Amino acid sequence: MKIHLPKKRASGYTIIELIISIFILILIFTVAQTNYRGYILNKSLDAARSQMISDIRLAQEYALAGRKSLTCSGLNGYTFTLNAASNATSYLVRASCGGSFETVKSVSLSKIATNVTANYSGSTGTTNGILFKILGQGNDISTTNTNVVITLSQETSGYSRAITISQGGEIK
């Protein structure tokens, strides 16, 4: 009696198995890359919001201290203003000296936020800005509208962040 041994099969993967494996890897990589890009955009917008809050607080602190330069006469306070000339992708912190302004800080957000808007309807003293008055006299946000809202957004991702400044000067 003759014993038949099973034929040895070549070890390895078929071309179909390899194609399916490569397709799954490409799919996983695509999803991971998209999520990572969204994460980076989200974090950059958070960083821009934090920077803007810090600069608003800078204007508040300078006004509270009554800090002025040698060329500034008649200091009224410090303003935080969106720069309309740059499609609102930059802002200025300026000293309000009598009838003129001295720029303390200028920041561009063009690489981070594509659109920055503000609801200044509550601000009465300055055009498109908030004036923090010197020596603890408050700000120019009127009593009819208790908050000024600044919104940073990225058109490509659809993400946005808001900053709210209350009449009492609280920044959220």
- Total structural domains within the chain: 1
- Say if 136 falls within a structural domain: yes
Q: Which helix (DSSP H) or strand (DSSP E) does residue 28 occupy?
A: helix 15-65
Residue 33 is part of which domain span? Answer: 16-166
In a domain, 6, yes or no: no
Contacts of 118 (CB under 8 A, 6+ apart): 82, 88, 128, 148, 149, 150, 151
Evaluate if residue 1 carries a pLDDT over 60.
yes
Amino acid at 96: S
Structure token digits, residue 165:
């400044």
Q: 56 lies in a domain?
A: yes
Q: Which percentage of the chain shows pLDDT scores above 70?
A: 84
Q: Domain for residue 43, yes or no?
A: yes
Is residue 9 in some structural domain?
Answer: no
What local confidence, expressed as pLDDT, does residue 125 receive?
A: 45
Region for residue 49 given its phi and psi (left: phi exceeds 0; alpha: psi -120 to 50; beta: otherwise): alpha
Q: What is the pLDDT of residue 68?
A: 82
Confidence of residue 74 (pLDDT cuts 50, 70, 90): confident
Residue 153, token pair as written in the block: 């957004």
pTM of the predicted structure, to 2 decimals: 0.77
User: What pLDDT, on a 0 to 100 scale, did the predictor assign at position 26?
Assistant: 97
| Secondary structure letter of residue 118 according to DSSP | E
- 171 is a domain residue: no
